[in-house]
Amino acid sequence: MTKPISILGIFVADLTFRTDRMPHKGETFIGNSFKLGPGGKGSNQAVATRRAGAETIFITKIGKDTFGEMAMKLYADEGINSEYVWEIADMATGAASIVVNEETGENVIIVVPGAADAMVPDDLDAAEAGIARSAFF
């Protein structure tokens, strides 16, 4: 039996807008497409680690909201251990607005970390048992 990999990171809901060009300051225009999906560097690493076959523990905070539900469904569907994913009732889950120029691939990203920004050293202490049984953190 192999030991799990623990990952500390952030989950955000990615709101991706695709356009023919980047908007100018103060401009509103019609884009080509929109996609809502899971994101966040740490969360993406947890999914990739699990898909590679490793037992995975993810450590973060999310809001108790629609985007938080998206995160918990993702972790359940992927088989990621979410015992250290804390849902915070009075905070929003993080979100990222991503604008992508389809012709050049250039992008502009705004990230609001939400509840994940409330992580403190004591949270690592609370996840110590999971981290201690892991091969890597």
CA dist list (Å): 18 to 12, 37, 99: 18, 14, 6
Rounded distance, CA 101 to CA 21, Å? Answer: 5
How confident is the model over 31-44, as pLDDT tens digits? Answer: 999 999 999 999 99
Q: Does residue 105 fall inside a structural domain?
A: yes
Q: For the whole model, what pTM was predicted? A: 0.92
pLDDT for position 35: 98
Q: Does residue 60 fall inside a structural domain?
A: yes
The answer, yes or no, to whether residue 1 has pLDDT greater than 80, is no
Q: Does residue 40 fall inside a structural domain?
A: yes
Selection from 70, 62, 113 nearest residue 89 by Cα: 62
Q: Does residue 102 fall inside a structural domain?
A: yes
- Cα angle for residues 76, 81, 85 (degrees, 5° grid): 90
Rounded distance, CA 27 to CA 49, Å? Answer: 40
From the number of C-beta atoms within 10 Å of its C-beta (0-12, 13-18, 19+), residue 90 rates as exposed
What are the φ/ψ torsions at residue 18 (nearest 5 degrees)?
Answer: -110, 135
How confident is the model over 2-29, as pLDDT tens digits? Answer: 999 999 999 999 999 999 999 999 999 9
Q: Does residue 108 fall inside a structural domain?
A: yes
Q: Does residue 137 fall inside a structural domain?
A: no
pLDDT for position 76: 99
Q: Coil, strand, or helix at residue 95?
A: strand
- The DSSP output letter for 136 is B
Q: Does residue 54 fall inside a structural domain?
A: yes
- Residue 57 belongs to domain with CATH number: 3.40.1190.20
The answer, yes or no, to whether residue 61 has pLDDT greater than 80, is yes
pLDDT for position 69: 98
Query: What domain range is 36 assigned to?
Result: 5-132
Domains held by the chain: number: 1
Identify any residues that bridge with 95 across adjacent strands, giving them in sequence order. Answer: 13, 112
Q: Does residue 122 fall inside a structural domain?
A: yes
Give the model's confidence band at 73: pLDDT under 50 very low, under 70 low, under 90 confident, else very high. Answer: very high
